[in-house]
Amino acid sequence: MARLEVENIHYGFGRHKVLKGIDLTAEDGECLVLFGVNGAGKSTLLNILALRYRPKRGSYRLNGQEVWDNPDYSRSQIVTIAHHSHLYGHLTPVENLQFFSAMRDLERTDEQIKQCVRDVGLSRFLHRPVKGFSAGMRKRVALARVLLANPPLLLLDEPYSALDHQGVQWLNKILNAYIKEGGTLIIVTHDPDRVAALPYRALRVSKGLLLADTVDADFREEEEMQVC
């Protein structure tokens, strides 16, 4: 369970100001989907929520606690799946998950770990090094970590990329169950069709701010890419 409260977050790279006063709240069992044009700042915001980037201004509280007061504990409450799946290529899915479990002090048994790998459709690949895997298979291994950790807060950056049709359906089933059990989920995607099966609140990162996604399509088409 995670209740997020973000207030007035600012973040930039050098002189390039990307986020200019982000306010965001998310409750237990809520799914937020972040949309926005390329370069709007969606991944930057996710990196802040994952405590990879520390904003110079603003506050970020998780269950009432300022995250930067105890960053190690805060990180232990979060699993992030970003563009790069952060797997060790020479290790098998089971070994990758054993390592992840040890790093997080999850104390999962080998059987629990194997079951998570089976649950993402990789039964035949339990003991093969990940370096030979396709992008979609790697994504499945990364998502097996979500099943293993069952974190209070889950941050997913383009989780559907590289997944086949069956993979998308399977992922949405897992995410629906996660939300129902009270997990808090934030997804970045460009594709509303992919998340249509989820009960979500749509937000849009635009011009450094986070807005309810009520802007009509004509306006969106006029939006320019916000790259520097």
Ligand X SMILES: Nc1ncnc2c1ncn2[C@@H]1O[C@H](COP(=O)(O)OP(=O)(O)OP(=O)(O)O)[C@@H](O)[C@H]1O
Which residues are near ligand X by CB under 6 A?
Answer: 13, 18, 36, 38-44, 226-228
Minimum CB distance to ligand X, residue 207 (Å): 12
Nearer to ligand X, 103 or 217 (CB): 217
> Does residue 146 contact residue 81 with C-beta atoms inside 8 Å?
yes
Sheet architecture: strand order including 4-13? 16-26, 4-13, 57-62, 65-66
Whose structure tokens read 């059987």?
Answer: 111
- Please say which residue, 44 or 85, places its beta carbon nearer to ligand X: 44
| Structure token pair of residue 157 | 């950056």
- Give min distance, CB of 37 to ligand X, in A: 7
- The residue ranges of DSSP E strands in the chain, in sequence order, are 4-13, 16-26, 31-35, 57-62, 65-66, 78-81, 153-157, 184-188, 201-206, 209-212
Residue owning tokens 């002090």: 105
* CB of 219 vs ligand X, minimal distance in Å: 17
d(C-alpha 190, C-alpha 188), whole Å: 7
Q: How far apart are CA 12 and CA 14, in angstroms?
A: 6
Among residues 42 and 145, whose Cβ is nearest to ligand X? 42
Name which of 45, 42, 40, 46 is nearest 225 in CA terms. 40
Which lies closer to ligand X via its Cβ, residue 33 or residue 149?
A: 33
Q: How far is the CB of 155 from ligand X (least distance, A)?
A: 12
Rounded to the nearest whole angstrom, what is the least distance from the CB of residue 93 to ligand X in the complex?
A: 27
Q: Which is nearer to ligand X, 96 or 206 (by Cβ)?
A: 206
